[in-house]
Structure 1
Amino acid sequence: MWSTRKSIVSAVVLIALFFLVRHTTTPGSQPLNVDIPISDQNAPTRPYPPPPAAAAAKNNLPEQQVFYDITSKPLRTKLEYYFPYDIEGKFPGYIWQTWKVGPSSGAFDEHLRPLEASWTEKHPGFVHEVISDLAAEHLIRYLFASVPEVPEAFSAMPVPVLKADFFRYLILLARGGIYSDIDTEALKSAIDWLPQSLDRAEVGLVVGIEADPDRDDWAEWYSRRIQFCQWTIQAKAGHPILRDIVARITEKTLDLKSKGQLRHGRAPTNVSIVEFTGPAVWTDTIFDYFNNHDYFDFDSNLQNITAQDFFNIKEHKKVGDVVVLPITSFSPGVGQMGAGETDDPMAFVRHDFEGSWKPESERMRDT
């Protein structure tokens, strides 16, 4: 075990590293934005992007103004201001994972070493960081210092699993790249996750289907009929879905805190973790985005996007600037819901699904 002094020094060094690389582009990220015209049969089902004036009007901001009092604006507006979204930019060459200690520590679980190494092996040139629990606390305070509500909410979360969920959305909003749980194995490089015919300058978020249970009792097993997984996500920094889910979780957490309903070491009794920070709220946020008039131009004949639009898909499906991958992509080998095996051409990430890989009591320890 590292001493407290060494742990703090390590965290400071890590933060300095992020400051140095915050605006760099790694060689490994360059192929992700190959300029090839779209010839995709799964054409966007939403006109995109929306007129620039729509977003400005939504937040009551002038389209061009150099200075204004951002501190008085709503949380979502502040997140948009400090973490702008550039759809035409490259997917950053970052891979983010979390664990109680880094791989250089002797306390790092030996079972996880080949899984963690697979991400580096499949992504040469990418910046691959395994963020320790202690460093995560410092990193969130640094990245979101200008939006103090966020680190306040992060620190207020009473159980480690909530912080683990929240961290993935926060790091992707601030820096972009790929987040993947430490018990996942990279089967293919992210460069190959999307077809070469798809212009990366029109994609800002890549998600996979976790559950597509075609059975009457699906609600006994899953929170949503179609459920998007959150153990692996690829994004460009500032994506509106990430901004929205960070705002939702922050507002919910601070509301519970103000009511005295957050007790250290105990999950909230009036809301489930799945609904609070997990795949349920993640799925809801994605569907809300698909059907949000602030982001898409709807015509009179355009129907809402629903779970039915993703039943039993076998290839990627693009909705606006979001690509949804089939269940095989991030859940190969599960033996149900139509998922293919790990040698399937659409299999990109294997999830170990070992509930014991990290006890909740050891996740995101409070400092």
Structure 2
Amino acid sequence: MDRIRATDHPLSLSHDEQTRAHHGSALDGGNALRRSRSRSGFGSRDSGEGFGSFDERGGGLLASASKPRRSARTRLNRVRSRVSGAAAARVKMFKKLSSAAKAVRVVAALLAFAAASNVLTCGRVACGDAGATTPPPTPYRPSALAATQAGLYAKRSHGLNALNAFPVGHVSEKEPSSKTLIPRLIHQTYKSNDVPEAARRMMSTWTKRNPSWQTRFYDDAACVSFVRSEFPEYYDAYTSLPKDVERSDFFRYLVLLKHGGVYADVDTESVLPLDTFLKPNDALVVGWEGEFDTDEMAYSRHFVRRRQVLNWAFAAAPGHPALREVCDAIKKNAQRVFTNNTNRDTLERTGPGAFTDAVLRHFWRHSAARRSMRATPGLVSEDVEFVIRGVIDDASEDDSISSEDDSIVDDETSDETSETSAKNFAKWSVRVLPKVSFGTHPSGEDGVSQDDAGVFVAHKFLGSWKSRKGWSDGKSVWDLMRTFWHSVVLGDIVAHRARASRLDRWYAMPKVTETTAYPVSCASFDPPFDALTYLLGSNPDSLAGSAVERGGASLTKWGRDQPGRDVDAALRPTSAEALVGSLETFRSTGTAAAARGETAALVDAGAGLGYFSLAAASRGFRALALELDASARELMAASAAHNGFETRVDVRAARVGGGGEAFCAALVRAEKAKARDAGGFASAAIEDAVLVTEETLRVARVNRMEAASDGGGSGSDEEPRELELSR
């Protein structure tokens, strides 16, 4: 048994020291006890504190108040020794900690430093918006009238009452059509049959919610066999791709090109039955993954396009020319190096980069809107140029596409109706769903939650093929510290990452035509329709920062536009459903309006991109869309042409309401009339506004009369222009 020494405790004495202390030593003069007590704290000769200290001259015990004389250097050396010993012990203890414990302590130290800096800067632990006291917006509460009006359409079409007018997902629960362009096949692939349990649970949702669909699974060996037998012309390119994920991308395009159906990654969940949102005439259905207002913002989020289509879930009819085009592009670029950033190189070669370009080109090739927009240069996107540090490499060079569908695109002399034309163009149609449908993230990025009722497919991101070192050429410790500072202290991490992306030596983003129009399917409205929007951050100057730009971003995210209520856009019924639903009173049998043969039309004042007008037209109503901005009118007219609504939507350049002195004078008269009827103004603020406006109008009239007397202009008052709304 090991002997335990009493000196293991810092306040204890050893046996030898105790003996010397009791018996003393002529040679030592009792200094041993003095030294041991000095180390243990019983008697410090420096401070004189404790139980006592020894007299060096006589060896007797002195009172604790006595202070032995020692030099300042000796005292300083003792302090240094104690401090260095304590520091060494802490360092030794820190080295024994696990990596996780070390990381926790480092992060805690940085957070403490950031909190102290914030206190010195703004007087709070957290600066920025966190300390703001902005009141939350008033929640949207649909009225009983809105619910009743919205339910009229559902009651007429589906036999549902007003309370149950909108089932889960807010799309029509119609019987599956036996005639569809997209076969009822679901394709999924994994490297082997040993699929992780979490992914198996996701895969089971596809069979559970789509019992009438056939599911096919392929491991890597089956994929190679399929490509060898079905597409020998692509086999060499397929096997030469450097990464497994690139071959997986290539396979999903090939299997739908051959068989059609739906492709879905094994870590995606089927939230709604496919038959609830796939239409019989759909030929290619994809979803937006994200949209950014600058190239730097997209690059910092690891996107390769400012507006990008995802490829972890999509549906297609067999033989769709867009899939053939992306497969040809992959074959051509199988050995091409787009960038030394290995992750982005994959995204360009086989991922969303190549897929997005093909999808957008074929949307315009097979859309009736193309013919109506030929007079507007720049709105129709044809080619994408890839730019690296100012060196232009035309990715579409020698990449001519010839397919059997080109014969139906350029027939300008045809006298067919717009609706017949739309049907012909829809042979190889492309429908792009909003981000909420396929593109949500479990973290709810961009404010779009996977709990939203508009989610059709939820991607759970159970694993990643991307290399952690593949995004850049490395980050220094200083870069990481700056990122932490902007994240915790300044709170502008998103803007910081966008600025820092330009410092990446591999920075590369494709050129975009900023006036190009982009499609989005308003899939949450029944029946769904398509709308065109500008690229976020690239709206014309007349629309920058306007409600039209905000509405376009809302359509891209959610496929719906709830003016001023982005936060509550998921609540039902929406204003469009209530407004358009109210028109059903003119069509419902048994009503006085129907008995008189009256029909309804929607007057859309300040129509913007025409969401409300297109919604009304999708249910067969006429719409008069009034919009002053020419850029918005162009997109609205193109959207109407694409959907075959040209005979239903009348787009006019007009502003309803007016402006200037005449408009202000009319407001003053209206407020005075209300005040007379009510016995006074509704509030002191309104009364003050009326008085100020009247005085301003008086001064304007005086100035105008003086200018007229000097020969500088006319003294007549401005009169408001009335708009004729008759059909």
> Normalized against structure 2, the TM-score is what?
0.31
Look up the equivalent residue of 1:117 and give its one-letter code. S
Q: 1:219 aligned to 2:299?
A: yes
- The separation in 1 between residues aligned to 2:287 and 2:202, in whole angstroms, is 19
Q: 1:160 aligned to 2:240?
A: no
Contact preservation (8 Å) 2:287, 2:438: yes
Change (3 A) 1:343 1:269: closer
Contact preservation (8 Å) 1:32, 1:90: no
Uncovered stretches (5+) of structure 1, i.e. residues with no partner? 1-29, 35-87, 262-266, 307-317, 361-367
- The separation in 1 between residues aligned to 2:434 and 2:342, in whole angstroms, is 34
- The separation in 2 between residues aligned to 1:334 and 1:287, in whole angstroms, is 28
Contact preservation (8 Å) 1:91, 1:176: yes
Give secondary structure in 1 for the equivalent of 2:183: coil
Structure with more of its chain in helix, by fraction: 2
Listed one character per residue, the Cα deviations across residues 115-169 of structure 1 (whole Å, up to 9, x for unaligned) are: 011111111021111211111100111222xxx3211211221221110111110
Give secondary structure in 1 for the equivalent of 2:263: strand
Q: 1:322 aligned to 2:407?
A: no
Give secondary structure in 1 for the equivalent of 2:200: helix
Question: Greater Rg, structure 1 or structure 2?
Answer: 2
User: Superposition pairs for residues 1-367 of structure 1, below 5 Å?
Assistant: 33=177, 89-102=180-193, 107-144=194-231, 148-194=232-278, 200-201=280-281, 203-214=282-293, 217-221=297-301, 222-253=303-334, 256=335, 272-292=345-365, 298-299=371-372, 300-301=374-375, 304-305=379-380, 321-332=429-440, 333-339=442-448, 341-356=449-464
- The separation in 2 between residues aligned to 1:295 and 1:186, in whole angstroms, is 32
Change (3 A) 1:225 1:32: farther
Look up the equivalent residue of 1:235 and give its one-letter code. A
Look up the equivalent residue of 2:226 and give its one-letter code. L
Give secondary structure in 1 for the equivalent of 2:461: coil
- The separation in 2 between residues aligned to 1:291 and 1:184, in whole angstroms, is 29
Contact preservation (8 Å) 1:149, 1:250: no
Displacement after TM superposition at 1:269 (Å) = 6.9
- The separation in 2 between residues aligned to 1:114 and 1:236, in whole angstroms, is 27
Report the counterpart of residue 46 of structure 2 in structure 1.
Answer: none
- The separation in 2 between residues aligned to 1:346 and 1:293, in whole angstroms, is 26
- The separation in 2 between residues aligned to 1:296 and 1:213, in whole angstroms, is 25
Give secondary structure in 2 for the equivalent of 1:344: coil
Give secondary structure in 1 for the equivalent of 2:462: coil
Contact preservation (8 Å) 1:98, 1:131: yes
Give secondary structure in 1 for the equivalent of 2:269: strand
Uncovered stretches (5+) of structure 2, i.e. residues with no partner? 1-173, 382-422, 468-727
Contact preservation (8 Å) 2:289, 2:310: yes
Change (3 A) 1:293 1:335: closer
Displacement after TM superposition at 1:187 (Å) = 0.6
Change (3 A) 1:136 1:331: same
Listed one character per residue, the Cα deviations across residues 58-79 of structure 1 (whole Å, up to 9, x for unaligned) are: xxxxxxxxxxxxxxxxxxxxxx
Count of aligned pairs between the two proteins: 244
Contact preservation (8 Å) 2:370, 2:380: no
- The separation in 1 between residues aligned to 2:310 and 2:227, in whole angstroms, is 23
Q: Percent identity?
A: 33
Give secondary structure in 1 for the equivalent of 2:446: coil
- The separation in 1 between residues aligned to 2:353 and 2:466, in whole angstroms, is 21
Give secondary structure in 1 for the equivalent of 2:201: helix
Q: Name whichever of 270-279 and 236-245 sits farther off.
A: 270-279
Displacement after TM superposition at 1:359 (Å) = 8.7
Contact preservation (8 Å) 1:122, 1:189: yes
Contact preservation (8 Å) 1:287, 1:305: no
Listed one character per residue, the Cα deviations across residues 85-132 of structure 1 (whole Å, up to 9, x for unaligned) are: xxx853111101111223xxxx32111111011111111021111211
Change (3 A) 1:163 1:295: farther
RMSD: 3.3
Look up the equivalent residue of 1:220 and give its one-letter code. S
Look up the equivalent residue of 2:241 and give its one-letter code. M
- The separation in 1 between residues aligned to 2:344 and 2:291, in whole angstroms, is 24
Contact preservation (8 Å) 1:176, 1:234: yes
Contact preservation (8 Å) 2:191, 2:219: yes
Give secondary structure in 2 for the equivalent of 1:207: strand
> Normalized against structure 1, the TM-score is what?
0.59
Change (3 A) 1:131 1:185: same
Report the counterpart of residue 76 of structure 1 in structure 2.
Answer: none
Give secondary structure in 1 for the equivalent of 2:371: coil
Displacement after TM superposition at 1:334 (Å) = 4.0
Give secondary structure in 2 for the equivalent of 1:217: helix
Look up the equivalent residue of 1:138 and give its one-letter code. S
Change (3 A) 1:268 1:154: farther
Report the counterpart of residue 309 of structure 1 in structure 2.
Answer: none
- The separation in 2 between residues aligned to 1:90 and 1:31, in whole angstroms, is 16
